[in-house]
Amino acid sequence: MNGRPPLLSVRNLSVTRRNGSEPAGRPLVRDVFLDVRAGTILGLVGESGSGKSLTALSIMGLLPRGLCRSSGEISLSGRRLDGLSGEEMRRLRGSGAAMVLQNPMSCFDPVLTMTDHFTETVAAHDPALARDRDKRLGRVRKALAEVGFPEPDAVLPLYPFQMSGGMLQRVMMALALLFDAPLLIADEATTDLDVRAQARILDLIDRIRRTHGTGVLCITHDLGVVARLADEVAVMHRGEIVEKAPVEAFFSAPGHPYARALVAAHLCLHAHDAALERARFQRMEAAS
């Protein structure tokens, strides 16, 4: 694409089950090699069990107990991540790299309001800002407005159960925007959402990419999301990357048999697209 070094660079990443403190058994993720450039979106595609979520968790240092990263060099903005301590990784999460997950309801504490969540996040990364109430609220309002809440003050006092999945996802993205994280990892962020909410979130991700120059690692099993958003595509199958290509090339001429099967199944569902376009067109004609 361009000559700049990638924002996120992952080389030879492997994840295995952990026995005590030693890796044991076959790797669940093997030799993953991927780049995310600033201002672009990499779509990481694969079916459940392929290891794509594990890859993301490994990058963020959030692997569950029982799993460990057995090898890999990870660099974010030129800084090596794989050697960092737990505390340093914690500081990085939210400010250097932000994550948006599949089930938004589970990411929020059910007894805290949105205000509390924002306060907590700010306090974790910028204690000085946390103390300055006006400044902090100003930033929070700005972030909420950017993700599509024209009246941020209406949202702040709400509890998670009072909000829809789509709304919660947008708040997650506002939390990510608070500290202008250069990398955003979206792991099946729209899978559990309604089609309309999904469209909004995808538009939002695209907009953030354009306005903030954020690099996005978008993990999904839905090729429609990839078609809509991605600049580059990487396909994972059974823990390995089997295909990597720019998005147009991926859809027009996939190489690996697995990638071909995916694209074929995807296009098979779109046989009626022309007819649907006609229906929409007719409606627009009738309306005008």
Partner 1 sequence: MNLLELSGVTKTYRQGGVFGGKGRHLVLDQVSLGLRQGECLGLLGRSGSGKSTLGRIALGLEAPDAGTVHFLGRPVVARGLRRNGFARRDLQVVFQNSLGSVNPRLTAGDIVAEPLDNFERPSLAARRTRVAELLEMVGLRPADADKYPHQFSGGQLQRVCIARALAPRPKVVILDEAVSSLDMLVQAKILDLLAALRRETGASYLFISHDVRVVLRLCDRVAVLHQGAMVESPAGVERIGDFTHPAFLALVDSLLPATPPTRAA
Partner 2 sequence: MTGLAAFLRRKTALVALAMCLLVTGMAVFAPALSPADPNATDLAIRLENPSLRHPLGTDHLGRDILSRLMYGARVSLGSAAIIVALVLGLSLMVGLLAGYAGGPVDAALMRLCDVFLTFPTFILAMFMVGILGMGLTNVILAIVLTHWAWYARIIRGLTLSLKNREYVLAARAAGTPPVKLAARHILPGVFVQLIVLATLDIGHMMLHVSGLSFLGLGVRPPTPEWGVMINDARQYIATRPLLILYPGLMIFLTVMSFNLLGDALRDALDPALAGQPAESEAEAAPSSLRPEVGP
Q: Specify the stretch interacting with partner 2 by CB under 8 A; choose among 62-70, 110-118, 140-148, 161-169.
A: 62-70
Size of the site for partner 2 (CB under 8 A): 17
Q: Specify the stretch interacting with partner 2 by CB under 8 A; choose among 48-56, 71-79, 127-135, 264-272.
A: 48-56
What is the closest distance, in whole angstroms, from the C-beta atom of residue 238 to partner 2 in the complex? 8
Residue 222 contacts which entry, partner 1, partner 2, none (Cβ below 5-8 A, type-dependent)? partner 1
Q: Which of residues 168-187 bind partner 2 (CB under 8 A)?
A: none
Whole-number Å distance between alpha carbons of 181 and 134: 22
Residue 64 contacts which entry, partner 1, partner 2, none (Cβ below 5-8 A, type-dependent)? partner 2
Name the packing angle between helices 114-125 and 133-146 (round to 10°). Answer: 110
State which of residues 3, 20, 66, 86 lies at the interface with partner 2 (CB under 8 A): 66
Mask 96-125, x = binds partner 2 (CB under 8 A)? ------x-----------------------
Closest CA to 104 of 171, 154, 59, 185: 171
Residue 201 contacts which entry, partner 1, partner 2, none (Cβ below 5-8 A, type-dependent)? none
C-beta of 6 vs 27, nearer to partner 2: 27
Q: Specify the stretch interacting with partner 1 by CB under 8 A; choose among 4-12, 122-130, 140-148, 191-199.
A: 191-199
Q: Which of residues 212-271 bind partner 1 (CB under 8 A)?
A: 221-225, 227-228, 230, 247-248, 251-252, 261-262, 265-271
**Helix or strand holding residue 115 (H, E):** helix 114-125
Whole-number Å distance between alpha carbons of 36 and 113: 34
Whole-number Å distance between alpha carbons of 277 and 122: 46
Quote the tokens at residue 209. 């990419």
What residues have CB less than 8 Å from 135, skipping those under 6 apart?
Answer: 129
Q: How far apart are the first and last CA of the chain?
A: 42
Name residue 127's amino acid: P
Residue 57 contacts which entry, partner 2, partner 1, none (Cβ below 5-8 A, type-dependent)? partner 2
Whole-number Å distance between alpha carbons of 233 and 239: 16
41: number of Cβ within 10 Å: 25
275: number of Cβ within 10 Å: 8
114: number of Cβ within 10 Å: 25
Residue 266 contacts which entry, partner 2, partner 1, none (Cβ below 5-8 A, type-dependent)? partner 1
Residue 202 contacts which entry, partner 1, partner 2, none (Cβ below 5-8 A, type-dependent)? partner 1
State which of residues 4, 20, 65, 150 lies at the interface with partner 2 (CB under 8 A): 65
**Helix or strand holding residue 59 (H, E):** helix 52-60
The residue with tokens 């594990």 is: 54
Q: What residue ranges bind partner 1 (CB under 8 A)?
A: 47-48, 194-196, 198-199, 202, 221-225, 227-228, 230, 247-248, 251-252, 261-262, 265-276, 278-280, 282-283, 286
